[in-house]
């Protein structure tokens, strides 16, 4: 369980953040203890009011508890984690609040303690709390048999990246096949009888006619690679010049590459805008489904809570009816019957509480699994469109650099990635 903590003030802002339902699909106030108030915002105000009598500005200790995404974690595990934090940080007996959040099929908790000791009117010292919580986190992973992240097992192995783009950074297109390029140049040569026709035919294939370094005609691909026309077609240089004219009348290769960059980059910008629109349309049905699922899950939880409250009330009345009053009650105390009944009531109440918790845990886990199924579809759509967007952004950057530098941009030492042919970008 990853623990992230901070000492802070701003009780009202924190309370509003913990109650926010726009970002979280489910918000459940699990515990408000040690305060006079029994609601979250009231407890936050009370914590702030108590701090006014001290010089402490960061009077709250806020911890987020994030279990592994693929684990079913019971409420008792979160409670035990909070107890361990209290013990390790010297916060035993301090007022605290615990709030559960659910988002995108994952459940985590927020625990907030008041640092102010009401007896001494001083703030609890929380020295090296990040290191202390790291030890608690390790212990939770070991006790629950969870697979420990490498970064937690050994600090030197932590992953410093905030986003996982490894899969997204795989380009969609393969390497440029020079055989296809040469074949296309040959076909353009065969159907063209002059320089203008040959240049147009090349542009239809995503290539441009230019003046090479050896005073020859070259075909420049959309990636900036230059192919000598005479060498590709097998014609003599004089024959090529006779058909295409003086190569000196054409732009040189660097200028041609700049022209390619200037031409393609704006088109890619339009493709990026179109890709964003398509991505928004693709995700909208899933977002609507998420809202529908959230409302249904909330209704199911409210129904279960109502049924459990009604059952608890009925069971409480039944247990109370067993305790006789008046003279009979005194007789039960003398004979010991009262203590047997009280013990029976306590046991039944305890098992009733465990039964209710088990029911709620089963419902929450079933809903989380359903939500995770939807989230898997959301992630698949996001990743698919993200890969497309990343490829478009990368290509746009390459062509802007080509327009600026007048030279082809390569992804690797000897690996030039191909771009879409000209007609596809129009």
- When mean pLDDT is compared across 62-66, 331-335, 417-421, the lowest value belongs to 417-421
Q: What is the pLDDT of residue 355?
A: 93
Please name the helix (run of DSSP H) or strand (run of DSSP E) that holds residue 210, with its range, or none.
strand 207-211
More reliable by pLDDT, 158 or 32: 32
Band the pLDDT of 25: cuts 50, 70, 90.
Answer: confident
Q: Give long-range contacts, CB 8 A cutoff, 24+ apart: 368-371.
A: 368/72, 368/102, 368/105, 368/106, 368/107, 369/105, 370/293, 370/297, 371/25, 371/102, 371/104, 371/105, 371/290, 371/293, 371/297
The pLDDT assigned to 150 comes to 57
Q: What is the pLDDT of residues 26-57, one digit of tens each?
A: 888 999 999 999 899 999 999 999 998 888 88
Could you read off the pLDDT of 121-141 as tens digits, one per residue?
A: 889 888 888 888 888 988 888
Element (H, E) at 79: helix 75-89
> What's the pLDDT at 256?
86
What does the pLDDT look like over 297-324, one tens digit per residue?
999 999 999 999 999 999 999 999 999 9
Q: How far apart are CA 202 and CA 187, in angstroms?
A: 9
How far, in Å, CA of 83 to CA of 90, rounded? 10
In the structure encoding, which two tokens stand for residue 109, read together?
A: 């908790």
Assessment of whether the complete model's pTM goes beyond 0.85 = no
pLDDT more than 90, % of the chain: 36
Domains of the chain: 2-157 (3.30.930.30), 178-259 (no CATH), 260-405 (no CATH)
If you average pLDDT over residues 143-166, what whole number do you get? Answer: 52
pLDDT at 173 over 60: no
Q: Are 227 and 186 in contact (CB under 8 A)?
A: no
Confidence of residue 411 (pLDDT cuts 50, 70, 90): low
Question: CB–CB of 172/388 below 8 Å?
Answer: yes
| Arithmetic mean of pLDDT, 206-211 | 86
Q: Is the pLDDT of residue 154 over 90?
A: no
Strands 96-103 and 60-66: unpaired
Q: Does residue 157 surpass a pLDDT of 90? A: no
pLDDT at res. 30: 92
Percent of the chain with pLDDT over 70: 87
Task: Calculate mean pLDDT across residues 145-170.
Answer: 46
User: Residue 337's pLDDT band (boundaries 50, 70, 90)?
Assistant: very high
**252-292 pLDDT tens trace:** 988 888 887 777 767 777 777 777 788 788 888 888 888 99
* Residue 413 pLDDT > 90: no
Residue range 340-347: mean pLDDT, rounded: 93
């Amino acid at each position: 369980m990853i623990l992230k903590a901070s000492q802070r003030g701003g009780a009202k802002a924190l309370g509003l953040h913990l109650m926010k339902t726009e970002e979280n699909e489910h918000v459940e106030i699990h515990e408000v203890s040690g305060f006079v108030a029994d609601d979250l915002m009231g407890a936050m105000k009370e914590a702030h009011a108590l701090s006014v009598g001290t010089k402490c500005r960061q009077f709250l200790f806020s911890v987020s508890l994030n279990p592994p995404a693929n684990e079913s974690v019971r409420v008792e595990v979160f409670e035990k984690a909070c107890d361990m934090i209290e013990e390790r940080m010297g916060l035993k007996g301090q007022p605290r609040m615990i709030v559960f959040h659910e988002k995108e099929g994952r459940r985590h908790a927020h625990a907030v303690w008041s640092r102010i000791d009401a007896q001494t009117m001083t703030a609890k010292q929380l020295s090296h709390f990040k290191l202390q919580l790291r030890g608690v986190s390790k212990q939770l992973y070991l006790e629950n048999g969870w697979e420990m992240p490498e970064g937690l097992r050994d600090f030197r192995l932590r992953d410093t990246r905030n986003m996982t783009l490894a899969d997204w950074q795989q380009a969609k297109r393969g390497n440029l096949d020079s055989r296809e390029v040469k074949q296309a140049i040959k076909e353009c040569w065969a159907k063209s009888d002059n320089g203008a026709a040959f240049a147009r035919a090349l542009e239809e294939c995503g290539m441009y006619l230019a003046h090479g370094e050896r005073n020859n005609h070259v075909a420049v691909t959309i990636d900036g690679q230059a192919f000598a026309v005479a060498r590709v077609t097998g014609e003599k240089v004089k024959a090529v010049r006779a058909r295409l004219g003086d190569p000196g009348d054409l732009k040189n290769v660097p200028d041609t590459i700049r022209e390619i960059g200037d031409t393609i980059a704006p088109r890619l910008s339009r493709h990026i805008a179109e890709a964003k629109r398509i991505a928004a349309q693709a995700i909208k049905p899933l977002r609507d489904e998420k809202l529908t699922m959230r409302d249904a899950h909330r209704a199911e939880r409210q129904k279960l809570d109502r049924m459990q409250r009604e059952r608890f009330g009925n069971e409480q009345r039944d247990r109370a009816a067993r305790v006789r009053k008046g003279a009979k009650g005194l007789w039960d105390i003398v004979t010991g019957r009262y203590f047997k009944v009280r013990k029976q009531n306590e046991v039944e109440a305890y098992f009733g509480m465990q039964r209710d918790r088990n029911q709620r845990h089963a419902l929450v886990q079933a809903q989380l699994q359903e939500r995770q199924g939807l989230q898997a579809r959301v992630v698949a759509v996001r990743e698919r469109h993200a890969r497309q967007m990343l490829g478009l952004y990368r290509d746009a950057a390459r062509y802007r650099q080509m327009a600026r530098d007048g030279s082809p941009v390569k992804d690797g030492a000897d690996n030039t990635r191909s771009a879409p042919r000209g007609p596809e970008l129009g």
